[in-house]
Amino acid sequence: MKELIKQAFEARKNSYSPYSGFQVGAALEGKSGKVYTGCNVENAAYGPSNCAERTAIFKAVSEGEREFKRIAIVGGHEGESVAPTPCGVCRQVMAEFCEPSFEVIMATSEDEYEVMTLGELLPKSFDL
């Protein structure tokens, strides 16, 4: 758990967030054991911005991994650490690839975090 959160903090350093000033990092653990990190990447047109969680998921899927164990998320404005809860779009993207038991770790430090399952964060998610 600590190691995954540490990797999320490392990814946060690459956050490109000149518009919101809110820096987010994520570390996604695949069932293979491989970890994929991501940060938020914003855009002047706002809409094309991508959250840290989706960056990590899309990196993983584009590298051939589609099954995941858990994700650690950290964030905050410069110099602060809050535990970001994933946005609705990211929850839906998680639901595409992850089981309801998938763990979402929302951390403020390596020792302080809340864990919720995807099933708790997005009950009755849409599926075809």
**φ, ψ dihedrals at 36, nearest 5°:** -115, 125
Q: Return the number of the residue (32 or 94) whose C-beta is nearest ligand THU.
A: 94
53 is catalytic: yes
**φ, ψ dihedrals at 82, nearest 5°:** -120, 170
Compute the least distance from the CB of residue 34 to ligand THU, in Å.
21
Compute the least distance from the CB of residue 116 to ligand THU, in Å.
13
Please name the residues in contact with 38: beta carbons below 8 A apart, sequence gap of 6 or more: 11, 25, 26, 28, 52, 53, 54, 55, 56, 57, 58, 59
Compute the least distance from the CB of residue 112 to ligand THU, in Å.
17
Residues in the chain: 128
57 within 8 A of 97, measured Cβ to Cβ: yes
What 3-state DSSP class applies to 58? helix
Q: Return the number of the residue (30 or 86) whose C-beta is nearest ligand THU.
A: 86
Q: Return the number of the residue (22 or 61) whose C-beta is nearest ligand THU.
A: 22
Q: Which residues bind ligand THU (CB under 6 A)?
A: 17, 20, 22, 24, 40, 42, 49, 51-53, 73, 84, 86-87
Compute the least distance from the CB of residue 52 to ligand THU, in Å.
4
Catalytic residue among 3, 29, 42, 53: 53
Q: How many CA atoms lie within 13 A of 104 on its CB side?
A: 22
Q: Return the number of the residue (76 or 119) whose C-beta is nearest ligand THU.
A: 76
Residues forming the active site = 53
